[in-house]
Chain A
Amino acid sequence: MTPHPRLGLLAAMATFMLLAATACSHGEPSTPPGSPAASNAAPSPSTDSRVQQESAKVLAAYSGYNEAYVAAAATANFDDKALPRYVADPLLAELRFALRQQSEQGIVYQGKPTWAAKITKINVAERPFSATISNCFDNGSWTPIYKSTRKPVPAPTQAKRYVVTSTAKFYDNGRWLISEAKADRSRPC
């Protein structure tokens, strides 16, 4: 596919913004104990421990998604095999498309973003099980560059730290998968 000239720029920007919206860092601790994990279920000792258990799985999936994506974006690998273990459609399709655009534009990502994710809502009482994850995302040290020249990809001035809200769902394969992610660049953090 030959990219449309104008589309090329759009795609590069969109790729950047999408990455910015969804990526996260290594190393940050996931939800600390006693973090504001909420539940629809009535508070009882057994539900609490269930919520804690599932919350940990949700955050592990969220972490896995971000690590897989940062790794894929570093090489523009749109066929990354790790992503589907943590991500479901429509987010999966969106990420793969972004990676494909990135590959067509010869763009790779350098460095790493950082993140601080917490669960703001979780329902494990009634199917479908779902969770909402709020993440303070910082892409200040995560840069799209042209693979050939190692020069940064021009991008409009934009916020570098802002809130990204994601949805996780529990699928029939027994895994929590991240199915949506939306960045709110007007919400610094």
Chain B
Amino acid sequence: MLTRILRRVLAAAVLTTATLAVTASSAYADHVYCPPSGPCIVIVDTPGSPGGGGTGGGTGGGTSQECGDTLFAGCLKPGLGYYNPADGCFWARAEPQPPASDPIWQGHTDGAVYVAACGWPGLTGFTNFWRATPPPGFGGLPNPAVLAAQAINQLGIRGPDIGIAPTPGGSGLVGLPVWMWTAVSPQTWGPIEATAAVPGLAVTARAKAARIVWEMGDATTDKPEGRVTCTTPGTPYKTSYGYKASPDCGYDTGYGDPSSIRSSGRFTVTATTTWHVDWWVVGGGATGELTVTRESGADILIEDLQVVTR
């Protein structure tokens, strides 16, 4: 008897996993928004409320969306209960709970007895089971976008680990090439992955840096700021390179003015990494993509060439 139920459950699980991949993405219009600093949030974009509003990305509260023509984890089928793709059953709390002496409890005094309706859509075994904890998806699952925001927040991606020649501790000269780079690590250039999960639903986010925009901090009333876009992490400068320009990421013309034109005496270089982030429900389902920016800064000292040549 038990074997028969299990077999039915397994067969149903195989079926439903396959359909989930095709369909679940349409169930959610919400998307993740990651501000340049601070945690990512979910923008709720439901048909009823155009424009939507932000909700905290950290809560992961359950939803109980009704199952449509196709089933997804944690969906509610009225009269049957919450769907668990892992076993292909709908689960509801048994009403009433059997008496404590009933063998269904197997001697346990904790947990609860649930009635499982298995084998959808080929009707169907209705069977009581004792469980220590509710089945995955019971009571509904968080919106995948909420878990995606959590996963992205866990990535720990950040702006460049700024390398620059001349070094922030030393000084450079007007008109000489400047080299910019980031130390490459999963957090500064990627790729990097993180997964956020609740029982019954897991979302993985994967981030890869696409580019770094270097703003050189030298704008004046006469001249816009030097701005260099690099699609590589850049090449760390070595003294053996002399006055050569960076092969892939440099401010090759160098600064036109000494940093003494700033009251601080230094130019502030701002480097902004644009991250491309993909997320997906593990095992198939909703997916999404977004860009996230993270920035870092460094101050450098540039001295006037004429001081040296005089």
Contacts and interface: CB of A to CB of B under 8 A. Distances in A.
A1 B102 CA distance: 36
B69 A94 contact: no
B123 A169 contact: no
A10 interface: yes
B102 A169 contact: yes
B92 A14 contact: no
A118 interface: no
A128 B104 CA distance: 11
B117 to A, nearest CB: 6
Given A100-B79, A172-B97, A128 B102 contact: yes
A96 B80 CA distance: 9
Contact of A10 (B79, B101, B115, B123): B123
Contacts of A94: 117, 124, 126
Contacts of A177: 96
A146 interface: no
B98 A128 contact: yes
Nearest to B95: A89
Given A2-B69, A96-B79, A97-B79, A91 B126 contact: yes
B121 A90 contact: no
Range for the number of chain B residues in contact with chain A: 20 to 34
Contact of A88 (B68, B94, B103, B123): B94
Contact of B96 (A4, A90, A100, A173): A173
B122 interface: yes
Contacts of A90: 94, 115, 126-128
Contacts of A170: 99
Contacts of B96: 88-89, 171-173, 177
A120 to B, nearest CB: 20
Interface string B127-161: 11000000000000000000000000000000000
Interface in B16-46: none
Interface in B91-122: 92, 94-103, 113, 115, 117, 121-122
Interface string A1-24: 110100100110010000000000
Nearest to A95: B126
Given A128-B99, A169-B102, A4 B121 contact: yes
Nearest to B80: A97
Contacts of A11: 123
Interface in A86-142: 88-94, 96-97, 100, 127-128
A14 B94 contact: no
A152 interface: no
Given A89-B95, A171-B98, A172-B96, A10 B122 contact: yes
A2 B70 CA distance: 10
B123 A78 contact: no
Contacts of B66: 1
B47 interface: no
B242 interface: no
A84 interface: yes
Interface in B225-252: none
A11 B79 CA distance: 15
A170 B99 CA distance: 8
Contact of B99 (A84, A92, A97, A169): A169
Nearest to B103: A128
Given A89-B128, A173-B96, A14 B115 contact: no
Interface string B50-93: 00000000000000001111000000011111000000000010
B185 to A, nearest CB: 50
A107 to B, nearest CB: 15
Q: Which of A78, A84, A89, A92 has the most CB of B within 10 A?
A: A89
A88 B95 contact: yes
A89 B99 contact: no
A127 B123 contact: no
Contact of B124 (A14, A92, A96, A179): A14
B91 to A, nearest CB: 10
Given A78-B79, A93-B126, 5 more contacts: A10-B122, A89-B113, A90-B115, A93-B81, A97-B126
